[in-house]
Amino acid sequence: MDYIKQKDPDILALEEINTQWITKLKPVLEQYPHYQEIPRKDNFGIVLYSKFKPKNMLTKYYGTIEVPSIVAEYQFQEEPITLLFTHPVPPGTEQYFKWRNEQLQDIIDNRSAFSKKMILIGDLNTTSWSYTFQNFVKKMNLIDTRKGFGLQTTWPSMLPLMRITIDHILVSEKIQTTKREVGPHIGSDHYPVYIEVMF
């Protein structure tokens, strides 16, 4: 909560969230009049909060496994911008590997449904060096905001020497990342990621 107050982001995306966490965070969330909340009892609850009014903000499901994503459509400087917040399942088994890849491929297949200008946020459960991630970035025609800002590993927070990059923010070519940083340990197994962009 203190980190959210300190950074005061215009858009806030939270993963692995349940109703108890939403209740605890209510005091700081009151400044966000526009939001979509999909709390769950497993690790795939997600919420998106925004100070800007979107044209629409919808819950979507990609792939064959029923884990939610949020798609918000904005209009900035008379240009449409899509924000997609997603959290594919971790590839811990052969079946989960298949489900994760199906979800990412379904998003690729729906690229034309999103605006050319786009921001994609989420724990994609794939590292920056994997073929899966690099192929996804290429097919989505997006840029990894980590470029130029160092390694910025985020998970697992309790094992510094084994930490990897699975929490990603991708943007389209005409969106400039002016700041990107990994925040402090906030009690989660993930470190938070904060960025500032210019359109």
3-state per-residue secondary structure call for 152-186: CCCECCCCHHHCECCEEEEECCCCEEEEEEECCCC
Q: Torsion angle of alpha carbons 59, 105, 123, 169, nearest 10°?
A: -90
What are the tens digits of pLDDT across the range 41-100?
999 999 999 999 999 999 999 999 999 999 999 999 889 999 999 999 999 999 999 999
Residue 3 located in a structural domain: no
Phi and psi angles of residue 49, each rounded to the nearest 5 degrees, phi first: -120, 140
Extract the tokens encoding 3: 């980190």
What are the tens digits of pLDDT across the range 31-44?
999 999 999 999 99
Residue 34 located in a structural domain: no
pTM: 0.95
Chain-centroid distance, C-alpha 4? 16
Total domains present in the chain: 1
Residue 19 located in a structural domain: no
Residue 1 located in a structural domain: no
Residue 45 located in a structural domain: no
Residue 6 located in a structural domain: no
Residue 121 located in a structural domain: yes
The amino acid sitting at 44 is F
CATH number at residue 147: 3.60.10.10
State which residues form the domain around 166: 52-194
Residue 148 located in a structural domain: yes
- ω into 156 cis (within 30 of 0): yes
What are the tens digits of pLDDT across the range 146-189?
999 998 989 878 777 788 999 999 999 999 999 999 998 888 88
